[in-house]
Amino acid sequence: PDLPAPRRTTREWQAADAAHFLHPFTDHQALASRGVRVITRGEGIYVWDSEGHRILDAMSGLWCVNVGYGQPALVEAAARQMTQLPYYNAFFQTTTPVAVALAEKLAALAPEGFQHVFFTNSGSEANDTNLRLVRRYWDLLGQPERRVVISRENAYHGSTLAAASLGGMPDMHAQGGLPIPGIVHVGQPHQWAHRDGAARGLDADAFGRLAAQWLEDKILALGPKTVAAFIAEPVQGAGGVIVPPASYWPEVQRICDRYDILLISDEVICGFGRTGRWWGCETVGSRPDLMTFAKGVTSGYVPLGGVMVGERVARVLIERGGEFEHGFTYSGHPVACAVALANLALIEELDLVRRVREDTGPWLAERLATLRDHPLVGDVQSCGLMAAVQLAREPRTGAAFDPAHAVGMACRRHCFDGGLVMRAVGDRMIVAPPLVITRAEIDEMVGLVRQALDRTL
């Protein structure tokens, strides 16, 4: 399983890793003291480490392995494409059949009004592309003063300079003087986080409308004619699976319409069935002008991202724009596109989107609700197959742990030691398992979560 690298013991891998590999989002001193875990293979919803331990991957890697590990159709598609044509570019008046076929397929799967795709390698690059697209759009319409993009606090939209600026993560902004100019943030519809402040005494409906009002207040403060776009995930993922109240998105849509502001739906996590529809915007009922995608489009088997460009923007870009001075060597990479096509076909063949909506999503919600009686659990939220378990020092009063992240890290460690990958976002524990997960596997997963919570007590 560890081919093509040489066979080594776990300790040898750990030493070589520490000597050479700078990991993303990692404190290397802390990593060295515990020893990195070496993952060597995967099958279905499980991965195995170099010591032979089986781990239930309740995070689908990084929210991406939607069809699970070890799907031969994706491997065969990659091999076939590599044999026939491993690479050709989409610059300089050339294209490849496989990239065209994927663009066509994505347009067919997208909500009405989306006919065009711009390919990138990642979600970060796709959001960089969005920033350039929306500014270009307003320039072409003779409104260059529309420059500002509004995002949300604690949002994650990627790690390049522009994407990290679009994101609202304070720790990321603290390094390197972000955000870049022209990007501002508003509060997120996170009722639990605001329970002692803005949300006190409000029901979910009223709080959803209040959180949308923060967007309108910001637009008015900036001046509506200076705002180019609003970007948000339908359900915020890396920020902690923040499922908005039902009143939030209709209000946000009304506000964007009212001030003629482009709406960018970041579907990097929510897209391709995670919420029980092909696109998260369909679940929450918004009508975006642009959609960012990545991760689930290939189930993470190879890197691919992009922007679904709605006709409102596409028409202006195509008819008035001349050359759009933007793109990547690997925009529309043939192997990535072949894997994406095989992945989308498999999602359809296994009927995964409907299964999430009607079967596994509701089952996960039901099983997670059984954790509400646990002395560490203050709240549980889910949407399709993404969910959060909110930890609290006193669940009845909602009193938080101080510092919040310590309890999350402890719980995550107990999960890992117990054979479960779960993510900690501060004091919220997150799951987003592969969409192929079965009811029995959900039962196993929730059992492991309870076990980790017991050990965290």
**Residues engaged in binding ligand PLP (CB under 6 A):** 62, 122-124, 127, 156-158, 233, 237-238, 266, 268-269, 294, 305
Is the four-CA dihedral 407, 53, 274, 119 of positive or negative sign? positive
Q: In angstroms, give the least distance from the CB of 191 to ligand PLP.
A: 20
User: To 5 degrees, how large is the angle CA 62–CA 66–CA 71?
Assistant: 115
CA torsion 332-336-338-339 (nearest 10°) is -150
Q: Which residues make Cβ contacts (< 8 Å) with residue 240, sequence separation at least 6?
A: 154, 190, 388, 425, 426, 428, 430
CB atoms within 10 A of CB 40: 16
Q: For residues 62 and 222, which CB has a smaller minimum distance to ligand PLP in the complex?
A: 62
Identify whether the C-beta of residue 212 lies closer than 8 Å to the C-beta of residue 252.
yes
Identify whether the C-beta of residue 66 lies closer than 8 Å to the C-beta of residue 385.
no
Q: In angstroms, give the least distance from the CB of 127 to ligand PLP.
A: 6
Q: Which residue is nearest to ligand PLP (CB)?
A: 123
Q: In angstroms, give the least distance from the CB of 126 to ligand PLP.
A: 7
Q: For residues 265 and 456, which CB has a smaller minimum distance to ligand PLP in the complex?
A: 265
Q: For residues 344 and 425, which CB has a smaller minimum distance to ligand PLP in the complex?
A: 425
CB atoms within 10 A of CB 157: 31
Q: Tokens 């919803």 belong to which residue?
A: 45
Q: In angstroms, give the least distance from the CB of 9 to ligand PLP.
A: 31
The stretches of 26-157 forming alpha helices (DSSP H) are 28-34, 60-63, 72-84, 97-109, 123-140
Q: In angstroms, give the least distance from the CB of 242 to ligand PLP.
A: 12
Q: For residues 158 and 378, which CB has a smaller minimum distance to ligand PLP in the complex?
A: 158
d(CA 2, CA 443): 31
What Rg do the C-alpha atoms of the chain give, in angstroms? 22
Q: In angstroms, give the least distance from the CB of 163 to ligand PLP.
A: 6
Q: For residues 283 and 456, which CB has a smaller minimum distance to ligand PLP in the complex?
A: 283
Q: For residues 124 and 382, which CB has a smaller minimum distance to ligand PLP in the complex?
A: 124
Q: In angstroms, give the least distance from the CB of 156 to ligand PLP.
A: 5
Q: For residues 263 and 400, which CB has a smaller minimum distance to ligand PLP in the complex?
A: 263
Q: In angstroms, give the least distance from the CB of 303 to ligand PLP.
A: 7
State residue 130 phi and psi, 5-degree precision.
Answer: -60, -45
Q: In angstroms, give the least distance from the CB of 451 to ligand PLP.
A: 27
Identify whether the C-beta of residue 226 lies closer than 8 Å to the C-beta of residue 412.
no
Q: Helix, strand or coil for residue 355?
A: helix
Q: In angstroms, give the least distance from the CB of 452 to ligand PLP.
A: 23
Q: Which residues make Cβ contacts (< 8 Å) with residue 306, sequence separation at least 6?
A: 106, 117, 118, 119, 120, 126, 129, 292, 293, 294, 297
Using a 10 angstrom Cβ sphere, with 0-12 exposed, 13-18 middle and 19 or more buried, the burial of residue 345 is middle
Q: For residues 424 and 448, which CB has a smaller minimum distance to ligand PLP in the complex?
A: 424
Q: For residues 233 and 282, which CB has a smaller minimum distance to ligand PLP in the complex?
A: 233
Q: For residues 67 and 446, which CB has a smaller minimum distance to ligand PLP in the complex?
A: 67
Q: Tokens 């720790």 belong to which residue?
A: 171
